[in-house]
Structures are given as structure tokens and as C-alpha cells.
Amino acid sequence: MHAPLPPAPTLRMLLARLVAAALLPVMLGAAALTWWHHGHEKREAMETMTLAARAISATLDERFIRARLQLDAPRAFIALEPGPLNEMLARQGLPAGWVATIVNDSGHVVTRAPDGDDTAGRDYVWPRGMRGDSGVVETETGATAYSRSNWTGWSVVLEAPDESLYRYVRGLLLWTTGGLLVLVLSSLWLVKRLAARILDSMATLAADARQAAIGLPMDVPPLAFREANEFAALLDAAAREVHQSTMALERSERQLRAVLDTAMDAVVVADNAGRIVLFNDEAERMFRTTRTFMMGQPLENLMPERYRDMHAQMVRRFVREPGNARAMGRHRLVFGMRSDGEEFPIEASISSARADGEQWLTVIMRDVTRRQIEQAAHESTQLPPLRLIREMEPVPSHTIPPK
């Protein structure tokens, strides 16, 4: 028996995969280019942040040196008060989203722009990875550049979120995504148009095949492409052959059924597992049941329950070592049981045949109730009563007379 085939993809899915395979290199190339621009622009933005931090630090040193030349050293730090420093940071023209922080040599925030002086005096939390007097590090939200003054020991820190670092990449990404979306939608539209024509042809073939499967003639109109028309011609020829074979088989079955239903004996056919597959009219009358009910039932269900296990073992043994014919009820009584529970004597024979690699059992049975009654009445006038009783005693159905 062949294993069941896995579900096959539809034609629409196959065409979509074909388009996807063609578009995949283009999409991967666009994604790689976008990613390269993404990294390149971020590196440039981080370098710009480093230069800006150094420039602000240099401005801070210049402011401190000028104040020191005009005033003494302690008073020079007056020029580094939060208010003036915040104004200095505001004049730097930093990009939108950037935040500049000045941290003194004790690690406290002096001022922060554009947030004002609200954070002044708090401890500054340095990002991990800062080394040396200047540099830039990536953070979870963007990048941070720093520069430490050699004169004051103070540091200028610039923080920028990812959004401000990728302003050019975002535009490129939008254009690339839009172009790819238009390309994909156009391809899918073409696939849909092509698939519609193919699917219409396949649907017509499927409808005609269903008609052929139930014995109706096929009427295939011209289809959308040559291969479908060639397949339709082959399908029509196969359907005609199947129709002729089906008609011949049905005719043979009707003839066989007519012969079996007119037989004077009950005829029951079972498979090699002992399951009933054929039950003629005389068997219906004899066992007072219908063939519909008996289909698939075990053969031993036609016998009294006390004999069923032995009969099943005998049938299995007979299947393993079949003979041309074997009498089950000749000379001795074999009992059957009707659907209403009535037991009655039968004479039966069983034979085996092979067809298409399968074994079939044919059982032919005859009700001998009348014969037994007549024989008992005849012998009752000649035999003593005790011998008569012994002769009428039932014999189990599995008993087979020796040859």
C-alpha cells in the first residue's frame, strides 16, 4: 500500500514563490545597501559628536583661561557658573535631539542643555566603555561623546539618540522600502493575472474529471494554454476507457448477483480475516437478516455463541492450509443461528480461492431442518428410544469427519 502523498502547494503559491525567488536578490541587495549606509552614517555622526565635544571643551578652556588672566585663580571659576555655561552651550547650534552636559572634576553636573540648570549638582552616570580624555561610545539608546579638559579637569559630554543619527538613512530606507513595495505589488498583480488564467483551466479540468469519475461524459472546452488542452485530451481518453471498464464490471457484477440470488443454497463470501463481503438472498432468508447488516460481520456470528471461538480457530487454520473444498456439515450436524436466536441444523462446505493476491472464503450452506425431522420420524419407528436420543444429540460445528 502506498504511503499518502503530502499536500502539494497550489499553483498560485508556486508562482508566488517564483516571483519571490526573483525578487529576493534585489531585496537582499537593497537591504545590504541600506544597512551599509546605516552603519556608515552612524560612524560619521559619532565622529562629528567627538569633534563637537572637543570643540566645546576647547571653548570652555578658553573661557577659563581668559577669566584667569583677568582675575586670580579662585575667582576664575566664577566664569564657569551654570548660567553663563548654559548660554554658551545654547550658542553651539547642536542638532535637534542632542544633549550637552558639563561635568566638573568631582563628577557632578554643572549644567545641561537644553534642559537648563535643573540637573545641576547631581552625580553624572558615565556610560560604560569610556577611556582616555576623549572619545565616543555606543549606548542602548544612541551614542555618547566626551572630552575632558586638561586645564580644569572638567568634561563636556554630548548624548545623541539613534533618531538623530540616522536622519539621512531614514529617508533612504523609506525610499527603498517604497520602491520594493511597489515592485512586489506589481509582481503579485502579474502573478494573480497569470494564475487566474491557469486556475480557470485547472478548475475546468477538475470539473470534467469529477464528471468522468462518476461515469458522466466529459465536455472540455478550449482552455487557456496548450499544455492544458493536451492534458484534457489525455484525460478524456482515460475517462472513456474507465467508463467502458466500469460498465463491463457492473455488467459482470449484475450477472454474478443474479446467479447467486437465484441459488437454492445460502452463499456467503468472506475475506481472509473471516469478515463477510457477500451475502445472497437465500442467506438472508435462511438467517432472517439483511445483507446490509451482515456486511463486515465475522462468519462465526452465523453460529451459536458456544461454537464461535472454535469455529474462528478452524477458519484461521483453514486459511493457513486451504484445500480445494472442505465439508463442515456432511454426515454430522452443524448448527447455525438465525438473527432471532433460533438454532437450526445446516450442511455446509467451505472453499478457498486467491484473486489479486488476496484470499477469499466461500461458504455454501443448506438448511436441513426438514430433512432431520423426516429422518428422525422415519428412524423412530425402527430404533429403540435410547438410540434415537443419542442420534439426535447435536455435534459441535467445528467437528470435521475424517476422510
Domains of the chain: 11-165 (3.30.450.20), 170-256 (no CATH), 264-391 (3.30.450.20)
| Res 348: pLDDT | 86
Cα separation, 57 vs 262, in Å, equals: 116
Q: Please, are residues 370 and 283 in contact by the beta-carbon 8 Å criterion?
A: no
- The pairs formed by 196-204 with CB atoms below 8 angstroms and a separation of 24 or more are 197/224, 197/225, 198/11, 198/224, 198/225, 198/228, 199/11, 199/12, 200/224, 201/225, 201/228, 202/11, 202/228, 204/232
Helix (H) or strand (E) holding 245: helix 226-261
**pLDDT tens over the chain, length 403 residues:** 445 545 555 656 666 666 666 666 766 666 666 666 556 667 777 888 888 888 888 887 777 777 666 655 555 555 567 777 777 887 887 888 888 888 888 888 888 887 665 667 788 888 887 777 888 888 888 888 889 887 778 888 888 887 776 665 566 566 667 777 777 777 777 777 777 777 777 777 777 777 766 666 667 777 766 777 777 777 777 777 777 777 887 888 888 778 877 888 999 999 888 899 999 999 999 999 999 999 999 999 999 999 888 888 887 777 777 554 455 545 456 899 999 999 999 988 888 888 777 888 888 999 998 888 888 777 776 655 545 445 555 544 444 444 3
Q: How many other C-beta atoms lie within 10 A of the C-beta of residue 12? A: 15
Q: Please, are residues 221 and 252 in contact by the beta-carbon 8 Å criterion?
A: no
pTM attached to this predicted model: 0.40
Q: Please, are residues 63 and 88 in contact by the beta-carbon 8 Å criterion?
A: yes
